[in-house]
Chains A and B, each alone.
Chain A
Amino acid sequence: MSACLQEAPLPHRPAARPPAGPGWVGEPLRLAALLAPAAAVFAAFFLLPLVRLILIGAGGAEGWSAYLTTLVDPGHLDSLISTLALSAGVTLVTLAVSTIAGLFLVRHHFPGHAVLVALLTFPLAFPGVVIGFMVIMLAGRQGLIGTITQALTGGKLVFAYSMAGLFLGYVYFSIPRVILTVMAAAEKLDPRLEEAARSLGAAPWRVVADVILPALKPALISAGALCFATSMGAFGTAFTLATRINVLPMTIYTEFTLQANIAAAAALSVLLGLITWAALAVARSVAGTSVAAAG
């Protein structure tokens, strides 16, 4: 029956076109009309300010070469490198902590499990200022760690107002985001894959290396990229802890408000954006190929 239908020559019909008539607007026009509001918002609040920012960056005495001078300025370069190092460190530590905790939380159910998951995701809503305040309460001059170390050793350990404090705050702040992604991915892991690996003689650490991590890789890369980008651009925590912490957002703030060096601030902003965007793009392409490979 179906064979007959297939063999019968189909009458060749031109593609149906909607009838032209009053009230009908061309398809491209209609699409353009639908896109217009989004395009307007995009232009007004993203494209125009960005172009303006790029132009301001080149608007100083040096012109476009200001971008290069900004970059090679020892202070700025230092700030850029320490920001990159901080973000990379935060990303790695967050991924390690969140992967272990996320896997544990998915695999083991115990009384208080739901409460613990809810608590872990609590910092999601906190602004950077609150995170900074919490770091000060923990590791500041009157902080918990300081009090304990003084009682134990006589010396007060205070590291809230430095890179170490910022590191702690960022890790705390990033864990919820990453842990939720890891948990979502871990729930989709096929337990049979691990059982198959074990049946072939793989020890537990080998199962993690050969089965679990490859399966989590796409999730880890995308969560890590977001964590990295957030750490690159975060400002509130650094601002709360100390104005002298040498990270790029603080440098931009200093150049902009204190030095009134608006061109340099703009150039640094564009650089920060570009570097973070490039890191995300690379991560996405790596994650993309590994997703395809995983089928």
Chain B
Amino acid sequence: MPDSFHLDAVPIRLERCGKTFAGSARALEPLDLTIRGGETIVFLGPSGCGKTTTLRIIAGLESPDPGGRVLFGEEDVTALPIERRNVGMVFQSYALFPNMTVAENVAYGLKVRKLPRPERTRRVEEMLDLMHLGEFAGRRIDQLSGGQRQRVALARALVVKPRVLLLDEPLTALDAKLRDSLRLEIDRLLRGLGITAVYVTHDQGEAMALGDRIVVMAKGRVAQVGTPREIYYQPADGFVADFIGTMNRLGGSARGGTLSIGTASLPWSGPEGAVELLIRPEDLALAGEADGHLGGTVAAAVFLGDRTRLVVEPADGPALTVDAAGRSELGRGDRVWLRVDPARVLAVP
């Protein structure tokens, strides 16, 4: 990637940024968050969790409730409207100007900034080439596919060298295959440009793949902030555990360094007493009757290619989701035994 594209990595700080819309409940509880310069942070959560509101507060499309502050680097931008914040925005619906060509769309921000025409043309061409859109420069927007449109939107947002790139569910409108390829492209772009980026999505796969850190949100609150691995392996609570990936919940009791699950006993160093155990499907291993901890019957088997996902019903307790090898021949009605690795079990009292 050419050096001319490298952008300043501006850190962003949100201080007590809450949002209450007139005549409705509080959409966002006061939030403190520091986004490091050059970091890609993903706001993840179900719809109505406050993630888009947070993005719009950073953008300057919403102002935080009194007392809240938004800082870009050392500059307090709380009172600045979006047009004076120098941010790039990418929307789910692309939001390209239908009355302009691809090149005119990309040039728009430069035109508004009154850049001389030769400079403008040069930068638009560079950006179109970077996004592999060179051949589409003269096309109308309605002559482009969804993926091409979103690449134009990215080019339009980036060509003005914004201080932060804000992406609001940019892949949601695309079909699965395009989503994957554009996600890779966005990843490459964000890493290459070194720009601070805020990405909003409800898709945990996108969040895991793109985020340096993920902010999981629920009902206007931050449930957890952490790297994808932290969020996945050390979820802060049951909501995060359930929202990210699949999580089994199992009752057990721990006493004197021993954890009892059903009839099995395991060495244990976690909290004592009656505990709820959270176990990922890939951390439950199939085993023989001799070394297994839990017995059950396969209630469903779904072949996913790289693995076979089994739903196992133990004699008592809730059904468990288990990942077996793709070539596993197990099917409905088979008796299986499962092994639990205590090191990979998360216990919630």
Q: Which residues of A contact B (CB under 8 A)?
A: 190, 192-193, 195-203, 206, 210-211, 214-215, 290, 293-295
Contact = CB atoms under 8 A, between A and B. Distances in A.
A272 to B, nearest CB: 35
Contacts of B239: none
B281 to A, nearest CB: 33
For chain B, which range describes its interface: under 10, 10 to 19, 20 to 34, or 35 or more residues?
20 to 34
Nearest to B156: A200
B95 A201 contact: no
Interface in B116-148: 140-142
Given A190-B95, A200-B157, A201-B160, 9 more contacts: A195-B91, A195-B95, A196-B91, A198-B81, A199-B88, A200-B109, A201-B84, A294-B99, A295-B142
Contacts of A294: 98-99
A215 B98 contact: yes
Contacts of B89: 195-196, 199
Nearest to B109: A200
A197 B81 contact: no
Interchain residue pairs A-B with the least CB separation, the first 10: A295-B142, A200-B109, A192-B95, A199-B89, A214-B99, A196-B95, A201-B112, A198-B83, A294-B98, A192-B91
Nearest to B56: A195
Interface string B137-179: 0001110000000000100110010000010000000000000
Q: Among A196, A214, A290, find the residue whose CB has the most chain B CB atoms closer than 10 A.
A: A196
7 contacts: A196-B89, A196-B96, A196-B153, A200-B160, A210-B108, A295-B98, A295-B140
Contact of B113 (A192, A201, A215): A201
Given A192-B93, A295-B140, A199 B98 contact: no
Interface of B: 59, 61, 81-84, 86-89, 91, 93, 95-99, 108-109, 112-113, 140-142, 153, 156-157, 160, 166
A198 B91 CA distance: 13
Contacts of A215: 98-99
B109 A201 contact: yes
A190 B96 CA distance: 10
A211 B112 CA distance: 13
A187 to B, nearest CB: 16
B98 A200 contact: no
Contacts of B99: 214-215, 290, 293-294
A232 B337 CA distance: 88
Contacts of A199: 59, 82-83, 87-89, 157, 166
A196 B93 CA distance: 11
Q: With a 10 A CB-CB cut-off, give which of B81, B88, B95 has the most chain A CB atoms.
A: B95
B111 to A, nearest CB: 9
Nearest to A290: B99
A13 to B, nearest CB: 36
A200 B108 contact: yes
B338 to A, nearest CB: 38
A186 to B, nearest CB: 16
Most chain B CB within a 10 A radius of its CB, from A198, A202, A294, A295: A198
Contacts of A190: 93, 95
Contacts of B95: 190, 192-193, 195-196
Contacts of B93: 190, 192
A211 B83 CA distance: 15
Nearest to B142: A295
Given A196-B91, A295-B141, A203 B83 contact: yes
